[in-house]
Amino acid sequence: MNKSEAQEILSEQLARYCSRSHSELSHLVETEHVETYEISAASGTRYQVEVQFFWDDQPGDVIRVVGSIDDRDIRAFFPLSDSVFVTRNQSLGAK
């Protein structure tokens, strides 16, 4: 797996959630929603992306959006992960 390519894809995917409203993401936390999908990179590598949603500390407060990516090979056991935080007013970005 090309780690820089995978990290770029994962960052782009997590950024999509920073533009969503807190209330929309709250619903995803409360329903324990998990999104899993595949993306083809420019290199031709197919990556699997999984995104989960959690309360970071207190229910109703900051939302942690956690994403992981792998190339559906041995890296599936050790995916690359990252997260962003979304507040009621704005996203806090990657941690």
pTM (predicted TM-score)? 0.86
- Model pLDDT for residues 71-86, shown as the tens digit of each residue: 988 878 899 999 999 9
Element at 20 (helix H, strand E): none
| Residue 90 confidence (pLDDT) | 60
CA dihedral 70, 74, 76, 78 (to 10 degrees): -90
- Indicate if the pLDDT at residue 55 is higher than 90: yes
Side-chain half-sphere exposure of 67, counting CA atoms within 13 A: 26
Report the number of distinct structural domains present in the chain: 1
Determine the structural domain holding residue 29 and report its residue range.
3-94
pLDDT band at residue 32, thresholds of 50, 70 and 90? Answer: very high
